[in-house]
């Protein structure tokens, strides 16, 4: 209890130290600075194409503090300030936290920085496994023969990005990534994880050459493993991952899935809690409708993402949404529902599976996935129900409701298989600069029906600049910037 009170006092001290820093911002800067309340988070994501959906424009401003020798230096201590989260990264505080955690968890150990440098060849590009919004992950080979994944945090990562990730030390499950150790050296903050040999799920299911390696038995094993991992997080810790997608599912040598990259995760006060945030994070195509539009999240937020993920594992296709046409669930969910209704689920199944699958099992998995991907969270089952439905054929399943159709000339109810026989590649790009805007552009490159080449066509783009939304067609790449 004394340790917990001490940690709470330190947290309050950091908030107090932030107040005068904001008050002393140079008045010559005309840009508006908004400090929002930070929310609990979990492991920083380092997966590729990680996308944030801010409800307001994201600004990072150089602070000119009166009486300080250098910007960002308080009482002689080097700190990093993230005004959006209202947090100060105090290296000394993080160091104390890691030492305290190591004492309480003997298996969690400290790594020497020079040992990490040697293991990663000085953080060389050839060792890079992935990069996300909070840092970069590198593959490292230690002297004892152990291969690990080392997450090197960016300089602007907030304190909760690092601090709450340490909760993984106490969470042990066969379908969750394992945290092994830490390293704090000057301004470097590094966490060390077990290395998962086969990499992320997206590198397999979306590639024809590798997708064939995942037969239906292995895909079902992956689906059930992810469900068990989520159930463990929800039932025992009330943790919402909030960015469940193939990039964040790692496969070991036995094709067992490990949920990773908890950068968007939060802990609820109960298993039925529903909370609201002004800072919506996640990845397009997997984010629940109520969370994307209203910032409302609960355990049912992960259930929606799980449903989309299952449909992708079954079909080998990505789900993408057309937000400007009122799309709330994505093309894959909509197509799958029409195929399920018309009893044409054979059109949904990944061609790489050929005929090597059990039709009744795939039909059941698809129906469970559609129930998970319902637009109304009240219509979605809990992960307890999901695991029961996947493991027992005696449980009767209800019929999933039809997804909302697209507006503005979108798909009609009769176009049940508008994407059959096609595959598409979605690239989410976040562009940031010194200007006070955050711009996200989605580019979809569609493969023609012969599968021999790409059409090199910009099918859909969305740009958010101070709330302004623009559509760009393939005939013009000129972007209108509002005054």
Beta carbons of 256 and 174 less than 8 angstroms apart: yes
Which two tokens mark 176? 């969750």
Q: Please state, in angstroms and rounded to a whole number, the distance separating the CA atoms of residues 414 and 64.
A: 60
Which residue from 1, 36, 158 is spatially nearest to 93, judged by alpha carbons?
158
Instruction: Tell me whether strands 128-131 and 109-110 are parallel, antiparallel or unpaired.
Output: unpaired
Neighbour count for residue 389 (Cβ, 10 Å): 20
Measured on CA atoms in the order 125, 129, 131, 136, is the torsion positive or negative?
negative
Structure tokens at 67: 């009486």
Contact by Cβ (8 Å): 367, 385: no
> Mapped to the 3 state alphabet, what secondary structure does 66-101 carry?
CCCCCCCEECCEEEEEECCCCEEEEHHHHHHHHHHH
CA–CA separation, 387 and 368 (whole Å) = 10
Catalytic site positions: 243
Residue found by looking up tokens 């590798």 in the block: 210
Strands (E), 210-256: 239-240, 249-251
Q: Between the CA of residue 101 and those of 3, 107, 163, what are the distances in Å?
A: 11, 10, 10
* Letter string b/e over residues 39-55, b meaning 16 or more CB atoms within 10 A of that residue's CB: bebbbbbbbebbbbbee
Please answer whether residues 270 and 333 qualify as being in contact, where contact means their C-beta atoms are separated by less than 8 angstroms: no
Instruction: Please state the three-class secondary structure of 158-184 as a single string.
Output: CHHHHHHHHHHHHCCCCCECCEEEEEE
What tokens were used for 456? 């090199």
Instruction: Give the residue among 447, 482, 451 at the shortest CA–CA distance from 57.
Output: 482
3-state DSSP call for residue 231?
helix
List C-alpha distances in Å: 440 to 140, 329, 359, 457: 32, 19, 40, 18
Question: Would you state the structure tokens that stand for residue 200, as one six-digit string?
Answer: 């992320």
Closest among 251, 258, 253, 114 to 179, alpha carbons compared: 258
DSSP state of 41: -
User: Is 151 annotated to bind ligand?
Assistant: yes
Q: Alpha carbon of 189 to those of 42, 146, 160, 281, 316: distances in Å?
A: 15, 21, 13, 23, 37
Rg over CA atoms, the chain: 23
Binding-site sequence positions = 151
Binding-site sequence positions for ATP = 151
């Amino acid at each position: 209890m004394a340790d917990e009170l001490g940690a709470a006092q330190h947290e309050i001290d950091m908030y107090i130290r932030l107040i005068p820093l904001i008050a002393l911002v140079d008045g010559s800067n005309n840009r508006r600075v908004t400090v929002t309340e930070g929310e609990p988070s979990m492991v920083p994501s380092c997966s590729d194409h990680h996308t944030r959906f801010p409800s307001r424009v994201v600004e990072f401003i150089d602070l000119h503090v009166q009486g300080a020798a250098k910007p960002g230096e308080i009482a002689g201590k080097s700190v990093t300030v993230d005004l959006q989260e209202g947090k100060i990264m105090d290296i000394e505080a993080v160091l104390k936290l890691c030492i305290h955690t190591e004492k309480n968890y003997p298996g969690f150990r400290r790594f020497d920085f020079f040992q990490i440098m040697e293991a990663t060849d000085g953080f060389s590009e050839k060792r890079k496994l992935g990069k996300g919004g909070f840092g970069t992950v590198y593959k490292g080979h230690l002297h004892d023969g152990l291969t690990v994944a080392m997450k090197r945090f960016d300089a602007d990562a907030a304190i909760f990005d690092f601090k709450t990730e340490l909760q993984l030390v106490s969470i042990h499950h066969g379908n969750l990534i394992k945290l092994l150790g830490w390293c704090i050296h000057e301004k470097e903050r590094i966490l060390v994880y077990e290395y998962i040999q086969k990499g992320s799920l997206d590198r397999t299911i979306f590639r024809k050459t590798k997708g064939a390696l995942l037969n239906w038995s292995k895909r079902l094993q992956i689906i059930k493993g992810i469900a068990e991992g989520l159930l463990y997080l929800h039932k025992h810790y009330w943790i919402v991952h909030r960015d469940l997608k193939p990039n964040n599912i790692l496969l070991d040598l036995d094709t067992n899935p490990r949920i990773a990259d908890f950068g968007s995760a939060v802990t609820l006060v109960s298993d039925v809690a529903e909370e609201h945030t002004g800072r919506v994070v996640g990845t397009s195509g997997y984010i629940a409708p109520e969370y994307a539009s209203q910032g409302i999240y609960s355990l049912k937020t992960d259930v929606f993402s799980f449903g989309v993920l299952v449909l992708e594992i079954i079909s080998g296709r990505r789900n993408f949404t057309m937000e400007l046409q009122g799309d709330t669930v994505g093309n894959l969910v909509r197509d799958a529902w029409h195929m399920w209704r018309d009893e044409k689920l054979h059109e949904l199944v990944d061609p790489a599976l050929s005929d090597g699958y059990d039709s009744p099992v795939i039909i059941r998995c698809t129906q469970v996935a559609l129930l998970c991907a319902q637009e109304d969270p009240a219509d979605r089952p809990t992960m307890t129900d999901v695991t029961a439905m996947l493991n027992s054929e005696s449980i009767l399943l209800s019929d999933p409701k039809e997804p909302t159709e697209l507006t503005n000339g979108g798909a009609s109810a009769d176009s049940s298989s508008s994407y059959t026989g096609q595959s598409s590649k979605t690239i989410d790009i976040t562009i940031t600069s010194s200007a006070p805007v955050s711009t996200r552009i989605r580019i979809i490159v569609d493969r023609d029906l012969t599968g021999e080449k790409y059409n090199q066509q910009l099918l859909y783009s969305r740009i958010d600049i101070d709330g302004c939304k623009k559509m760009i067609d393939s005939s013009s790449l000129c972007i209108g910037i509002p005054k």
